[in-house]
Structure 1
Amino acid sequence: MNAHESRDRENWLNIAAESLAGSQLSFQVQYWGINPSHYDNPLHKHSFYEACYVRDGEGIYQDHDTEYPLRKDTLFLSKPGILHQIRSENGLDLSYVAFEIDEANSAPEVVASYRLLLDSSNCIRYGIGETPAALIWRALIGQTRQNDSLSDSLLNSTAQSLLLSLCSAFSEENEEERTLPPRKLSHHSMRSAVLYIRDNLSADLSVKDVARYMHLSVRSLSRLFHENLQVSCQDYIQREKMKRAVHLIRHTDLGFSEIAERAGYGSVHYFTRVFTKIYGVSPGKYRSGQ
């Protein structure tokens, strides 16, 4: 889909699917977007919800203090008042919708349930390609291909179904795919240390490396981690390394030497030894489910 075609479809959606009325739950859409080459945007926040569907590409989504990897068939939700940002080096094929609940035309008990599920759920879901939300989103975009003969009511109805489906999409918790945010950080230095570790895991980080970057002594850095996260800096680095390794084993076909390198282990043999000690099985058996 080229940029001109995307703009045509986007404009059609913004005209035909702006106010979505339902029997119990209605929505006001702020805007629809279809961008086949979305790169970076600044750190910002909204007074409304914004749901984004990654149709292809890779990048990073930052939600408050936490960064989440983006890849094909990822759905993520920016909630009102939360600082967030999207970054991508090579561009994301991204579809998105910004919306509010039309409370004046909705049943109060349904509004409360919908908002509770969205606000209490995780902000990101992976592997949603065959879920109702993704299927409806693709169908919605497909309906704009022949907008000269398209029924506005059909497009409107599909858009309404999409926003309703987001509720179930984000309420279905998936412990294996979910990236849990760290404990609320009480110090700017703590946030900076955590982000530095996550961004530089492949460099085989040491506690001294982090302390040097933070312009702190090793003792001060250790105290910072114990006070905020109740773990040592070394344990936190090790945990993040294993989290990245497990993610790569589960969701890629990379060889174990490449996984070890990306997770910050200088040797695949050392990585295998540490992994086996923690999980009780080798990386190969873990990947095969044995």
Structure 2
Amino acid sequence: MVPSIAACQKSSLYLNEHVTSLQGPPASFFIHYWGGKPRHRGNTPHAHSFFEICYVADGVGTYIHNGITYPLRQGTLYCSKPNSSHHIESDSGMLLLFVAFDIIQEASDPEVVEMFDRLNRFHHLFIADTEQSAAVLTWKALIDYCSGEKIDYPKVAEKLAHSLLLTSLSMFSRYGGSVTAENGTESIYSGALKEAKDYIMSNLSHKLTIKELAQEIHLSERQLSRLLSEQLGLTFPSWIRNERIKRAAYLLVYTDINIEDISSEVGFETVHYFSKVFADLMNITPAKFRKAVRSNELDFSLLHRYLQAAVNRSLS
């Protein structure tokens, strides 16, 4: 059920006055603001120093993050990262719920602080079709509770708000980063390989060599090759190929960029070669993959696990 405009506005007033600090465990947060904006038609490009989770309660639009466009519709949950340029656009207007916050590191468990650091390295934090997720159901319960005639138990609002942030962040950690998230074997990256991956993801459109990458992270080519073999079971060319295809899959799902431009953005010289490599790894062509996801033949929430399984097949 879509929250009423009156409930969104009334709950925002209460939350901004009374729910500005959330204490753990396992994490504590400082809240910059809460909001429930009806008929939101968009804003100008901007950036801020904190995380901002947004939920599209009604309507359609687009979210533009670092130059890439994502479709927004009812049920979309996304998060703007610190210092990232972003804005939204909507012709008809959307009912948008949002909360902006920082984690209080000294009052949070180390693993949660590490999760925040990992989320900040994701290319995007964007999940479609979250209507029945724990995060969204908690958000709706929070609005309902805080828009009542009387708030009998303020601690209930705090607990709901705390649960909202934790469940949302957990979802983004599992699914929101999609094809760039660390998982499985990637979670055992050494510091050097994490640094290498960050460099790769920033330079996928360029030709990458093991010599260049080794120099960037201050290792010899032999040391880097050994790290890849021991920790990931990959050669340098296969690692680069996998990262290019993962990035391409994310662009196919979450943007309207045409396939030829995607092939160029992830570093392929021709769209024909890109399509061949994609199909070899994913067992489906780029065009059919995009169509399958958008027609719900491939569930958004299972996308990341689908991608990882495809990559694992390539290693066997």
TM-score, L = length of structure 2: 0.59
Does residue 155 of structure 1 match 2:157?
Answer: yes
The CA distance in 2 between the partners of 1:154 and 1:103, in whole Å, is 24
- In the TM superposition, residue 227 of structure 1 has moved relative to its aligned partner by 8.6
Distance of aligned partners of 1:245 and 1:33 in 2 relative to their CA distance in 1, 3 Å threshold? same
How does 1:171-250 map onto structure 2 within 5 Å? 171-173=173-175, 229-232=267-270, 245-250=291-296
Gaps of 5+ in 2: 182-200, 207-250, 276-284, 298-316
Partner of 1:114: 115
Task: Give the letter aligned to residue 49 of structure 1.
Answer: F
Q: 2:88 aligns with which of 86, 89, 98?
A: 86
CA–CA separation in structure 2 for the residues paired with 1:45 and 1:103 = 22
Match of 1:42 in 2: 44
User: Is the Cα contact below 8 Å between 1:53 and 1:73 reproduced in 2?
Assistant: yes
**Hey, what's the Cα distance between the residues in 2 that align with 1:185 and 1:96?**
33
Mapped contact 2:52–2:80 kept (Cα < 8 A): yes
SS in 1 for 2:92: coil
Corresponding residue SS for 1:52: strand
Measured at CA, do residues 174 and 30 of structure 1 come closer, stay the same or move farther in structure 2, by a change above 3 Å?
closer
Name the counterpart of 1:95.
Answer: 97
Q: Structure 2 CA distance, aligned partners of 1:100 and 1:5?
A: 25
**Counterpart Cα distance in 1 of 2:82 and 2:176:** 23
The residue type equivalent to 2:120 in the other structure is D
User: 2: distance between equivalents of 1:235 and 1:88?
Assistant: 36
Distance in 1, matches of 2:4 and 2:165, equals: 26
2:117 counterpart letter in structure 1: L
Quick one: which amino acid aligns to residue 32 of structure 1? W
Moved over 6 A (4+): 177-183, 198-201, 233-237
Aligned to 2:24, the other structure's residue is in SS state coil
Shift of 1:114: 2.9
CA distance in 2, matches of 1:10, 1:101: 20
RMSD: 3.6
Q: Is the 8 A contact 1:58 1:72 kept in 2?
A: yes
Compare 56-65 and 153-162 and name the one that shifted more: 56-65
Classify 1:140/1:4 alpha carbon distance in 2 versus 1 (closer, same or farther; 3 Å): closer
Residue 60, structure 1, aligned to residue 62, structure 2: yes
Task: Tell me which residue corresponds to 2:218.
Answer: none
Contact 1:12–1:147, Cα closer than 8 Å, also in 2:
no
In structure 2, C-alpha distance between the alignment counterparts of 1:6 and 1:36, rounded to whole Å: 8
Partner-residue secondary structure (3-state), 2:27: coil
CA deviation string 1:236-259 (max 9, x = no partner) = 89x8765653444327xxxxxxxx
Say which SS state the counterpart of residue 61 (structure 1) adopts. strand
Distance 1:236 1:59 in 2: 30
Deviation at residue 126 of structure 1 after TM alignment: 1.3
**Structure 1 CA distance, aligned partners of 2:286 and 2:70?**
13
Structure 1 regions of 5+ residues with no counterpart? 187-193, 211-224, 252-290
Aligned residues of 1:144 and 1:150 also touching (Cα < 8 A):
no
SS at match of 1:81: coil
Q: Deviations over 1:132-157 (max 9, x none)?
A: 11111111111122152332111011
CA gap of 1:226–1:132, structure 2 versus 1, over 3 A, is closer
140, 143, 148: which one aligns with 2:142: 140
Amino acid aligned to 1:114: M
Q: CA deviation at 1:179?
A: 10
Tell me the TM-score normalized by structure 1.
Answer: 0.63
Residue 248 to residue 23, structure 1, CA distance change in 2 (3 Å): closer
- Give the corresponding residue for 2:313: none
> Which secondary structure state, in structure 2, belongs to the residue aligned with residue 229 of structure 1?
coil
How far 1:235 sits from its partner (Å)?
Answer: 8.0
Distance 2:69 2:6 in 1: 31
Q: 1:228 to 1:103 in 2, by over 3 A?
A: closer
